[in-house]
Amino acid sequence: MTAPVTTDPELDETAADDGRPAARRYGLLAVALAVVVGLLLGYAGGLLTPTLTRPGEGSPEAGFARDMTTHHAQAVEMGLMAFQQGEDPEVRQIGGDIATGQQGEIGTMQTWLRSWKLDPTGDQAPMAWMPDGARSVKNGLMPGMATPEEMAKLRSAKGREFDLLFLQMMIKHHIGGVHMLDAVLKQGHDDDVLAVAQVMKNTQQTDLTNLVAAQKRLGGQP
């Protein structure tokens, strides 16, 4: 989960320094450490889920936890790329926040599955837990997810081109994520899952506001 965007003075100073690549590496190590800490905190939070009436194999909660883990994993990868490769300080901040926040949420969801005595992956196709969910899967990808070709293009992009492409892809990614969150909020019954899903939705909507504002500021197209 991410907080509203704030600009990191250290990153701003780094952007004006000829030694920026070295400083950026140190910053990336800090974000990588934060991702690990977020994952551990996510696991700790997930352990608090009661096990007396746990969701079963075919439940919306289990399908959501598995599919959103996959969805989040791509967002974490994109966020780390933005923090490392982004030219704009706000883009780097947004990317770092998304990477650390969603890695923590992955930890929570994976801990749920273990506490429910379920495997991290199931036999169902992606989005099968949603009514008509299969229709939203395109070429094996869940709503908003980038194709391998789009991810390769993002990795090779530089400067302002990278910033605008990241913003465009992450906006699409978050819109797809909110669609999935709405579905589990309608179908789920586990109070802890519903509470976390609502927080995820609120956070992603805040992210979307920041992403769209940054895209507009940089002159990108919706």
Mean pLDDT of 146-156: 98
Average pLDDT of the chain is 86
- Tokens of residue 49, six digits: 């889920």
Site of tokens 């801990």: 111
The pLDDT of residue 96 is 98
Check if the beta carbon of residue 207 is closer than 8 Å to that of residue 4: no
Q: Looking at domain 18-217, does it have CATH number 2.102.10.10?
A: no
Q: Would you list the domain boundaries of the chain?
A: 18-217
Identify residue 86 by its one-letter amino acid code.
G
Burial bucket for residue 128 (CB in 10 Å: 0-12, 13-18, 19+): middle
User: Mind listing the pLDDT tens digit for each residue in 19-46?
Assistant: 555 555 556 665 656 665 555 555 555 5
Using CA atoms, how far apart are residues 77 and 95, in angstroms rounded to an integer?
A: 9
Using CA atoms, how far apart are residues 94 and 193, in angstroms rounded to an integer?
A: 25
The pLDDT of residue 35 is 62
- Report how far apart, in Å, the C-alpha atoms of 93 and of each of 38, 39, 40, 169 are: 16, 19, 21, 16
User: Mind listing the pLDDT tens digit for each residue in 52-64?
Assistant: 578 999 999 999 9
pTM of the model: 0.77
Using CA atoms, how far apart are residues 16 and 172, in angstroms rounded to an integer?
A: 31
Using CA atoms, how far apart are residues 162 and 113, in angstroms rounded to an integer?
A: 36
